[in-house]
Amino acid sequence: MPAKTKKEFEEIFLQANAERRKYRRMYQSSVSNTLFEYACDEHFAIGDVCDEIGVEGIRLSRNVIDVQDEGHVSQLITQADDHKTADAWVSLPCADFTPWQHMNVHRHGWGFQQKLDKRRKQVRKMFAQAKRFMKKILAEGGRVDFEWPENSGWWNLEEVKDFEKEHAFRRVYFDGCMIGAHGKDCPIRKPWCVSSCDERILTILAAYQCDSHQHEPAEDSQTKQTGFYTRQFASVIVEAWYPQKWFQHVPNLSTSSAVVTLRT
């Protein structure tokens, strides 16, 4: 099991966060309460929560936009110019990088491996284009997160690790059972990993690590369902990034999370 997250962040990471906060304070009057949902599902829970509390959630769904196409992504980058300090949550497809693919290759042989390699090449093009968009958001003082399941092969790719190193990203590991993932009778563990440039998100998500309660396995339709964010997961993200908007729309703060006590 990898380390969940470091209790003390490295100086380079903390400095990058301090500079970003300073930049956002300088442009406080024009700070954009906008969240780009990049390559996410069109029925993305984070976007629904944003809509409810007055944060502008811009859905850049794979059903609408070709996130492999350089021209399409260039248009998105132009759109980001109109939203200084906007943030981005990136969720690229992970099916071709699951551990199950090792079993599929073993069962189906070389022909399956060739098809898998072809599909992986295509989705890696998505990350190459996503980097362009993420860099634009970061350059304008925005915050960026991207996520996959903890055991996804994406995390082992050099282009992912190189991007994290270049932009001082850090990873946090947490468990879906602690943020609403539930089966028929018991919670479903669903280990997640988020890579972020933002100290606040990392600190908050690190609190949602499994405390060893009973789980049930994700089976049949539940397997696909665990790939979607729960309402609680979405609320944690939106509350962490937009606490003022959140508190303005939550009538009973006695039920809100420990996010209240953390530094913005």
* Residue 138 is assigned to a structural domain of this protein: yes
Output the pLDDT for position 189. 81
Instruction: Let me know how long the chain is.
Output: 264
Residue 43: Cβ-neighbour burial (10 angstroms; 0-12, 13-18, 19+): exposed
Q: Which two tokens stand for residue 44?
A: 């993305």
CATH, residue 105? 3.40.50
Helix boundaries (H) for the chain: 11-26, 45-53, 70-80, 100-108, 110-139, 158-166, 199-205, 221-225, 231-241, 243-249
How many domains, the chain? Answer: 1
* Residue 128 is assigned to a structural domain of this protein: yes
**Residue of 50, 76, 44, 11 whose CA lies nearest to 227:** 44
**Residue of 172, 231, 162 whose CA lies nearest to 198:** 172
* Residue 189 is assigned to a structural domain of this protein: no
CB 176 within 8 A of CB 183: no
- Mean pLDDT, consecutive 10-residue segments, the chain of 264 residues? 55 92 80 87 84 92 87 92 92 91 90 94 95 96 96 96 96 90 78 96 94 70 58 93 88 46 36
* Residue 260 is assigned to a structural domain of this protein: no
* Residue 59 is assigned to a structural domain of this protein: yes
Output the pLDDT for position 219. 60
Output the pLDDT for position 27. 77
Output the pLDDT for position 227. 53
d(CA 67, CA 59): 12
